[in-house]
Structure 1
Amino acid sequence: MSNAYRFIHRHTRNTLVARGWPAEMDIQTNLSYSQGDGVAFYGRLSANELVLLLPEIALRGLMDDGAMQTLRELIAGSDMSVTLYRNSLGNHHAHNGTISMEYHDCPEGMYERHVVSLLKALRAEINNVCSCVAAAGYRVLEAFSPSGSEPIFSRQTRNFRLTVTEVEPFDDGDCWDNEALDRLLAAILDENTTYRSLEVSLESRGMVLGRLHVPYAWNQPGLPVRRWFEREWLREVVTEARSEIDAMMVAMSGIRPSV
């Protein structure tokens, strides 16, 4: 799982839990700007979980309060369950259309109209969740993807040129715990923060003397370079360049003119 998709997966899980869904839902994501892309989730809803979920659905205006209360009274204490499973479309895609539902063990007194009302409400909720998290997911992808501007900036002196470019990120997200993921997610979704991988290089007359890869540099639209470019990055590149220059000087000192 790439870093961006790790964030999308976490955001989907957070959204489901916040809306009353079980934390154990199986989440599938596939966001590549192609037809059939999106977010899907699968799993089983017990009677108790349905009783807890239905008021949340009603609060969002996706079902009538009266119908919600009737369904809760019928389902409470029963063995009823609803399973969300991956249909044939789910073999290649992940979106609300890949999720099918089936119900089991309807309680006594629950008729077809009640089942239809329940499945209709769940479908509306599924569509709403998938749409919301997919929209957020594309923002997460953009936060991690190189913008295409090359270089981001450069500084030139008489003898040296400092260049900073965006590069493809590599996967090092295993070091992030859930608290860190949630904090960075909030920065992306609430503050439009980006997390870009950078290559900082220092060269002289076309020869690269020092190079540093910065895994994740945070930035926000409109911030001046001095607000997000860490001086430590420059120090590391300059230190490497000095070592390279020293090594070159030692090598050149061993050159003797032929007689």
Structure 2
Amino acid sequence: MNLIKTYFTRQLEKRGYPTDDICYSLNYCQGDGMAWYGDIEEEALISFADKLMKDTEKAAVKRAINKGATVTIERNSYATHYSHYNTMSVIAEACYGEELTDFEWASFQSFEQALEEDVKATSQSLESNGYAIIDAGSKYGALADKKRTFNTARFSLIIEESEDKDFSVQHWDESLIDDTVQACIDKKLRYFTLRVSVIEREDETVLGESYLGGCTESNDSPSKNYDGHLRQMVSEAIREARDFVNSISLAA
């Protein structure tokens, strides 16, 4: 699970929304956004009632829930091509067992509308934060100027922070995941694959490379040696380049 999907899942779980069917597209295109679908569990509905309703309506909604009334987030007609705050429809249904009173059903319908507003607001908030997370690992965002080049007469040594398409926090501690994601959203942290390469300047042939994925660096106090990994990576790239050049020389 990638960083954005992990973030969306954790945030929806904290709010009480279903997480088995999360869809998103964040490419700065029309119709982009994020959405999720599924049944809201009874315990979560009670929590939403406490959060969104007041006084007698709150009590009526809780009675309706206890009688078996349900809420489901379903795809609407816009979801055929898109995934965003307006592709979700919140559907409230009365129970098939104990009948609701008129006031309980009216209150539950008001609850449905309040949930619809919360769903849309949550989607828009997560979408905005999702873009911030993407930017923290994008060559067009936080990584735009993270490239250093050292030249000799014939060769160039390039140290570059490149996009890490497989960046994963799957086995991280939960608190570390939350802190890392929030730092990305706050533009305090970037994530990347560190790449060191040796190229021939004349035709830009790559002679040697070394990679290290899953890297993070603070934007407040960026490191130049990447926690001590850079020296070894430079040595590996140069050694590989020398071996390549020597093999060409022997072949000639």
TM-score w.r.t. length of structure 1: 0.76
User: How many positions carry a matched residue from both structures?
Assistant: 243
My pick for the range that moved more, 193-202 or 235-244, is: 235-244
Letter in 1 for 2:80: N
Selected match of 2:215 from 210, 214, 217: 217
Q: Counterpart in 2 of 1:188?
A: 184
Structure with greater helix percent:
1
Q: Counterpart in 2 of 1:125?
A: 118
Q: Counterpart in 2 of 1:28?
A: 23
Selected match of 1:201 from 197, 210, 213: 197
Residues 151, 163 of structure 1: 8 Å contact kept: no
Residues 167, 197 of structure 1: 8 Å contact kept: yes
Residues 212, 233 of structure 1: 8 Å contact kept: no
Q: Superposition pairs for residues 129-140 of structure 1, below 5 Å?
A: 129-140=122-133
In terms of Rg, which structure is larger? Answer: 1
Displacement of 1:37 in angstroms is 1.2
Q: Deviations over 1:14-49 (max 9, x none)?
A: 222222x14545211111111211111111135443
Q: Superposition pairs for residues 3-82 of structure 1, below 5 Å?
A: 6-19=2-15, 21-56=16-51, 58=52, 63=53, 65-66=54-55, 68-82=57-71
Q: Distance in 2 between matches of 1:243 and 1:189?
A: 38
Q: Distance in 2 between matches of 1:213 and 1:198?
A: 6
Distance change in 2, residues 1:235/1:209 (3 Å): farther
Residue 99 in structure 1 maps to residue 92 in structure 2: no
Q: Distance in 2 between matches of 1:35 and 1:247?
A: 47
Residues 169, 215 of structure 1: 8 Å contact kept: yes
Residues 133, 184 of structure 2: 8 Å contact kept: yes
My pick for the range that moved more, 217-226 or 29-38, is: 217-226
Residue 238 in structure 1 maps to residue 223 in structure 2: no
Identical residues among aligned pairs (%): 23
Distance change in 2, residues 1:125/1:67 (3 Å): farther
Q: Which runs of 5+ in 2 are unaligned?
A: none
Selected match of 1:114 from 99, 107, 115: 107
Residues 132, 187 of structure 2: 8 Å contact kept: no
Distance change in 2, residues 1:104/1:185 (3 Å): same
Task: Report the aligned-residue RMSD.
Answer: 3.2
Letter in 2 for 1:233: L
Selected match of 2:76 from 87, 93, 110: 87
Q: Which runs of 5+ in 1 are unaligned?
A: none
Q: Deviations over 1:136-167 (max 9, x none)?
A: 10011111221374662223467753212343
Distance change in 2, residues 1:157/1:124 (3 Å): same
TM-score w.r.t. length of structure 2: 0.78
